[in-house]
Chain A
Amino acid sequence: MTTAIAARGITKRYRGQTVLDGVDLTVAAGTVLALLGPNGAGKTTAVHILSTLVRPDGGTATIAGHDLLRDPQGVRSAIGLTGQFAAVDGLLTGEENLRLMADLRHLGSRAGRQRVAELLERFDLTDVARKPLITYSGGMKRRLDLAMTLVGTPQIVFLDEPTTGLDPRSRQTMWEIVRELLDDGVTIFLTTQYLEEADRVADRVVVLDHGRIVGEGTPSELKARVGTEVLVVTDRDGTARPEIPIDGTVGGLRRVLDEIDGDQLATASLRTPSLDDVFFALTGNPPSSSSESAAAPATASTREES
């Protein structure tokens, strides 16, 4: 299998603070890599370096066969980037935004028009194509953003927290699009704060904390270490017991339940492992920056979506 992204020892410091500390990443062509980590772990910096926006202080990378430092224009011609904040031109209409991309990709008038119409259709934006962006919802802007990234049919697509701020339905749409891209053979590099998201789409997950990689593997490998679910037991008097990761098998559940002594009126519930659980399993510590916001929506979204 060919390699789409190969990065070695990527290092970045801002004002004496190390944001990325010797990060190695390899992404096979046509697969999805999820970079998982809390706020401030260095995910966005990694995306910015690999998409040529930021110069690394150290390390090398080859992206779609182009050397990052020696041939950045070559890299740029092979990639598409959808950042955390909608990179759209707010003064233009949706169609004009897409036309702008088609012109900058030198598609030519005819092919450009065709590609724009195709993307408007595919992203369900045909009805609002000629309306100013001020009338678009957050989800519509994000769809337009991704459509703009795809105008030039990139081989590698970077998605930096693509679902942040989206409602469950728009999130669902986003994952469907990611799967379609995979069917087309596109390589996807995405960042997320949610284990459950990484589990849904990624072939491999890399866990980043404080600019260092603290764990990596397939989602099932990670889950084997974290447990597929976490059992939460609360005694009758409201005392919460330590949470117990379980592996999802009946045997596993029985073993755990057998260990719970006495109190038949204690309440028990299951929840999906959060980022905290992953970090706890991998490092024995909670993630470096506060992630209370990261843990809650992950479980909430599972309930809403499944």
Chain B
Amino acid sequence: MTNIATTAADSATMFRRNLLHMLRYPGLTVFVIGIPVLLLLLFVYVFGGTLGAGLPGGGNGASQQYLAYVVPGILLIGVAGIANGASIGIAQDMTEGIVARFRSMAISRAAVLNGHVLGNTVQGLLCLAIVLGVGLLMGFRPAAGPLAWLVLAAFLALVCYSISWVAVAMGMSSKTVEAASNWPMIFTLLPFLGSGFVPTASMPGWLQWFADAQPFTPFIETARALLAGRAPSAGDGWWSLIWCTGFIALGYAWARRLYERKSV
């Protein structure tokens, strides 16, 4: 078999393994899905009235208005949660003898990592679909047409995939599973320090600068535009792609280096 064919076949095998893990050990998936759903309920029903009234043009039916505003932010919270799951998942795997076995076998050196990243992307899309479903039950009515939905799904898959690469590298660099669960917390904070919950224009100047410069703001704005049935602004679209490419390159290089750290 050629190199690429071997990599594809071995990655598919590892991907199946990660899907089986998700079925056999659903605790992590439930946790990863539960947090964003809980935050959605909290932000809409507890804070929604007040926060919605503060939105530009906010007034009557403030919490419904806020629902439409916050769903993209919650989706990206969900993506950040996936990072947590990815990091914990690979750190757990690395503590088991099975990875030593994989490393002593003539299989593609990227397969174990690919399996984790692809498994996490699927977990992420599942999580995001459920968050959107809960949003719809709460009265969220996106204006997106079929094409916008398709683009949104592809876009969110890309974001999940790229964040997973960084998270997998973070998990591999951690000595313990506990440490692995701390690292990606930074991703969970970013939607709050961006346009996820309030417009960045309402923030103090220095924070506004950070909020506009960090990756989650273009991610959230792109998702927000697509859900509203608008085309995302060119700036948000390009920055999203640049950040995703950067995350994939960084995460891949870092994780591969850690995987080969000690071996021949």
Contacts and interface: CB of A to CB of B under 8 A. Distances in A.
A81 B264 contact: no
Given A91-B20, A104-B105, A81 B13 contact: no
Interface in A67-101: 68-69, 72-77, 79, 81, 83, 85-92, 96, 100
A55 interface: yes
Interface stretch (A46-54, A207-215, A266-274): A46-54
A106 to B, nearest CB: 7
B24 A53 contact: no
A256 B25 CA distance: 64
B228 interface: no
Contacts of A106: 1, 6, 9
B10 A104 contact: yes
Given A92-B17, A92-B20, A100-B13, A68 B100 contact: no
Where chain B touches its partner, the secondary structure class is helix
B21 interface: yes
Interface of B: 1, 6, 9-10, 13, 16-17, 20-21, 24-25, 96-98, 100-107, 111, 262-264
A91 B262 contact: no
B100 A72 contact: no
A104 B13 contact: yes
Nearest to B5: A106
Where chain A touches its partner, the secondary structure class is loop
Nearest to B101: A87
Contacts of B101: 81, 83, 87, 148-149
Contact of B97 (A88, A104, A152): A88
Interface in A126-178: 132, 148-149, 152
B62 to A, nearest CB: 46
B17 A100 contact: yes
A53 B9 contact: no
A251 B107 CA distance: 58
Nearest to B99: A87
Nearest to A81: B104
B260 to A, nearest CB: 9
Given A83-B97, A83-B100, A106-B1, A77 B21 contact: no
A103 interface: yes
Contacts of B98: 87-89
A69 B263 CA distance: 10
Nearest to A149: B101
A104 B263 contact: no
Given A88-B97, A103-B13, A77 B106 contact: yes
Interface string A99-119: 010011110000000000000
B264 A68 contact: yes
A7 to B, nearest CB: 13
A19 to B, nearest CB: 13
A88 to B, nearest CB: 6
B98 to A, nearest CB: 5
Contacts of A83: 97, 100-101
Contact of B264 (A72, A85, A90, A100): A72
Nearest to B21: A91
Given A88-B97, A89-B98, A53 B262 contact: yes
A77 B262 CA distance: 19
Contacts of B24: 91-92, 132
Considering residues A86, A106, A149, which has the most beta carbons from chain B within 10 angstroms of its beta carbon?
A106
